[in-house]
Structure 1
Amino acid sequence: MTPTPSPLIYDLPAGVPSVRLTGRFIAPDGTPLTGKLTFAPPSVLTMPEADTIANTVATVEIGEEDLGRFAVNLIATDAPGMSPRGWTYQVTEKLKGAQIRQYHIMLPQVPDGGPVDLADLAPVSPYTGRYLPVVGPTGATGAPGAPGEVKRVELEALEERVAPRPVEWSQTAASPLWTIAHAFPYPPAVRTYDTSGREIGGVVEHASSTTVTVQFAYAETGSAILS
């Protein structure tokens, strides 16, 4: 017998086309996973034809009793009259024992009204608009400059600014959020590891020009390599 997910599944207001999204998460050995999923539409989604505004994320909790399964009713991404148009859901998976994943999906209406399984949806690029560069005419070639002299110490200093050496950082107290200060002249790449040296995944954000944060699904200890 197929278990029924425990969270309540709400019906959307009349006039708002919806899609029932289902899915199941398991480990490679078949163990059901627990955790949380969020589905984020644009910050403000208006549907004048249904006199409805949506301005927050939908959250689904997967408990042990759900055996890895979930179901949720979501607004269809092609509902008529809504603003903006052509948008996508940002899906965030925070499952115990698994890396955090973020990706985008489109969820158009289903002709027969049946459910759609998350495993059947291919992630898509977020719709954010596109800018077209304007290229002007090529200018005249300037005269060559005189050769200069560069000392070795200057070259080493330039190399350090352009390509700094990797830096290791340690997190000794278990925390779901690591805040890392750095002196790189650019946003560095970040790789994170647990105390056994196994690489673990988190959501990396460059909070400022000198600070990086890494968000995990659960409290972690370990180290990070910035490069």
Structure 2
Amino acid sequence: MTPTPEISAAAMPAGIPSTPLTGRYIAPDGSPLSGTVHFAPPSVLTLPGSDTFAATAAKVTLDAEGRFEVTLVATDAPGMSPSSWAYQVTEKLKGIPPRVYHILLPASSTPVDLADIAPVNPYTGNYLPVTGPQGAKGDKGDPGEVSLEQLDALEARVAPRPQEWTQAAPSNEWTISHSLPYRPLVSVYDTSGREIGGSVDYPSPTTVTVRFAYAETGSAVLH
């Protein structure tokens, strides 16, 4: 793969607004860092008064002192298309995770230092939550005002009351309607109060069918 050539002041065609950019990278102890810095404009820039400028990322390599110098196309050149854009800067320094950010670079004949226009990253370290001692128990608050109707409605939603069904006419199939918000359990009793068995089916969310071998009368409890 052929490396992307560095853009220098001598390589910039005449008539294209540009800005010289400088920078220096050092470690906290002052020793110079090594690596590269990439400046990527949009994939294609159309410049006024010239042919289409197919722009790849400009790559600069830090020197022995951790410095670089490069001249780049200004981001505010009049008539340029696109008219609003920014360089994507990618720092690839030895021993440091890559950092990516964006900069605007207005036309200037005076060198601009990257440290003056690069955004400052907020601290993103790891935090360890520490639980402190439990505080004293507070005073008990006053009881709220709730009506009996509200309590009944709440109880009906949380724990619906069982519903009863009476079958007066003998039948070997009981069709029972209910309003419970779930598929209920069914207990069936004859007229003497003895629990009897039957085949239970749920044809709809609000209907239960109980079938017997013989016609029966009695009651059912849905709970």
Q: How does the TM-score come out when normalised to structure 1? A: 0.48
Structure number with greater Rg is 2
Q: How does the TM-score come out when normalised to structure 2? A: 0.49
